[in-house]
């Protein structure tokens, strides 16, 4: 097949890890006889420096034309003033909003060879294979707000959800659960929040169309505990924007490192934005040590969700598993007895495993 892929390397280690994602996608195209073309565009801090805005018009136009977008990370110390009128994360939020990407999928899978890297006891991790489905364009990050000032030292943020917003994300979670182990956990705070009670009501009615999927509600505080106590029990976690933001960072520790976790942001069509869940890691930028596997696994999700290439996606995931089984590690997931490699070498190893 032919596909047009836009890459948005962004800031910090973004360009280093996206280069490896592209390397692997080119290898997939060669091996499976596809034609992928790549177009690079600016987002985040580098876009602010070049154009004065975090999401230039040309970038948005390129993304609208593309079949899929592979993104690195945005932000860094140079743009860290939270009161600045133009900030790198506006690029990400704007892109999601403009492309209507309301569903964020974050799979957390434990690679058996990384059992020892997680801070959790290895026996707790057996069978961990879950996906967090996080609502991405609504909730408290987007509701009406008031900043505090010297004269008026009161601030507020507002969590707003409509039934339609909940319904469409609930369908994403139930469709996904149907292809997996058939279980949805709705994580909310329904004992306190009116929005959460709306979520429960809407999810109950959506669930009626999926008789083969079971579901249960769980309060977010309890979910935070159970994710560490019995993580293997979760299949699909469905949750609102802010709860998902927090729980996925917690869940990333099950996998051992932020450098291992991919994500997909999807809307109504097939086009999606794929990115590692980690940030621009200014502490290791330019050293060639960043773990590119989260980006490479994001590229696998791109093949699966935007291009419909399931066999190719599985080939990439299997290649990553093989490289880890051979004992190769980037520094963030290294243990005694493993061989530490840099960012580019790790990408090469995945390409070699893909061919083998």
Least CB distance to ligand NAD at residue 111 (A): 15
Residue 7 within binding range of ligand NAD, rule CB under 6 A: no
Residue tagged active-site, from 30, 126, 221, 233: 221
Half-sphere exposure of 80 (CA within 13 A, CB side): 7
Tell the smallest beta-carbon distance from residue 185 to ligand NAD (Å).
24
Binding segment (CB under 6 A) for ligand NAD, from list 134-142, 164-172, 281-289, 315-323: 281-289
Cα–Cα distance for residue pair 133/131, rounded to 1 Å: 6
CB 347 within 8 Å of CB 23: yes
The catalytic position among 245, 274, 328, 332 is 245
CB atoms within 10 A of CB 209: 10
Using the rule CB under 6 A, is 282 a contact of ligand NAD? yes
109 sits in which H/E element: strand 103-109
Question: With binding defined as CB under 6 A, does residue 73 bind ligand NAD?
Answer: yes
> Cβ(47)–Cβ(78) under 8 Å?
no
Identify the active-site residue in 129, 157, 249, 348: 249
CB neighbours of 265 closer than 8 A, spacing ≥ 6?
96, 101, 103, 104, 105, 136, 272, 273, 274, 275
- Contact between residue 334 and residue 8 where contact means Cβ atoms under 8 Å apart: no
CA-CA distance, 352 to 266, in Å (whole number)?
Answer: 30
**Considering 129, 157, 189, 348, which one is annotated as catalytic?**
189
Q: Does 290 bind ligand NAD (CB under 6 A)?
A: yes
Give the tokens for residue 166.
Answer: 């909940």
Binding window for ligand NAD (CB under 6 A); candidates: 20-28, 127-135, 212-220, 273-281: 273-281
> Could you say which of 52, 211, 283, 311 contacts ligand NAD (CB under 6 A)?
283
Per-residue interface string for the shown chain with ligand NAD, residues 13-32, x marking contact by CB under 6 A: x---x---------------
Tokens representing residue 28 in the block: 């997939």
128 vs 296 by CB, closer to ligand NAD: 296
Q: Does residue 236 come out as left (phi exceeding 0), alpha (psi in the -120 to 50 range) or beta?
A: beta
Nearest to ligand NAD of 159, 297 (CB atom): 297
Q: Which residue ranges make up the site for ligand NAD (CB under 6 A)?
A: 13, 17, 73-76, 92, 258-259, 278-284, 290-291, 294, 332
């Amino acid at each position: 097949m032919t596909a047009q892929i836009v890459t948005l390397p962004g800031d910090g280690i973004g360009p280093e890890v996206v280069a490896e994602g592209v390397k692997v996608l080119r290898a997939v195209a060669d091996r499976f006889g596809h034609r992928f073309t790549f177009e690079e565009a600016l987002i985040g801090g580098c876009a602010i420096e070049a154009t004065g805005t975090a999401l230039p018009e040309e970038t948005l136009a390129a993304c609208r034309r593309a079949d899929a977008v592979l993104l690195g990370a945005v932000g860094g110390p140079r743009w860290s003033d939270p009161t600045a009128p133009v900030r790198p994360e506006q690029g990400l939020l704007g892109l999601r909003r403009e492309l209507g990407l309301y569903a964020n999928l974050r799979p957390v899978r434990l690679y058996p060879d990384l059992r020892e890297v997680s801070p959790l006891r290895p026996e707790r991790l057996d069978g961990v294979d879950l996906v967090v489905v996080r609502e991405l364009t609504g909730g408290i990050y987007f509701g009406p707000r008031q900043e505090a000032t010297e004269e008026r030292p009161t601030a507020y943020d507002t969590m707003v959800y409509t039934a339609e917003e909940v319904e469409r994300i609930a369908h994403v979670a139930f469709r996904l659960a149907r292809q997996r182990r058939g279980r949805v956990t709705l994580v909310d705070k329904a004992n306190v929040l009116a929005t959460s009670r709306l979520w429960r009501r809407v999810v109950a009615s959506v669930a009626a169309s999926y008789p083969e999927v079971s579901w249960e509600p769980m309060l977010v505080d309890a979910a935070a505990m159970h994710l560490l106590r019995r993580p293997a029990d979760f299949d699909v976690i469905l949750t609102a924007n802010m709860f998902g933001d927090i729980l996925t960072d917690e869940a990333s520790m099950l996998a051992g490192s932020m450098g291992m976790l991919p994500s997909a942001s999807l809307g109504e069509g097939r086009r999606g934005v794929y990115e590692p869940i980690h940030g621009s890691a200014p502490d290791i930028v330019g050293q060639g040590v960043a773990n590119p596997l989260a980006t490479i696994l994001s590229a696998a999700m791109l093949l699966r969700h935007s291009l419909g290439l399931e066999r190719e996606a599985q080939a990439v995931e299997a290649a990553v598993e093989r490289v880890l089984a051979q004992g190769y590690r980037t520094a963030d997931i290294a243990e005694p007895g493993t061989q530490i490699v840099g960012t580019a070498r790790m990408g090469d190893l995945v390409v070699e495993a893909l061919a083998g």
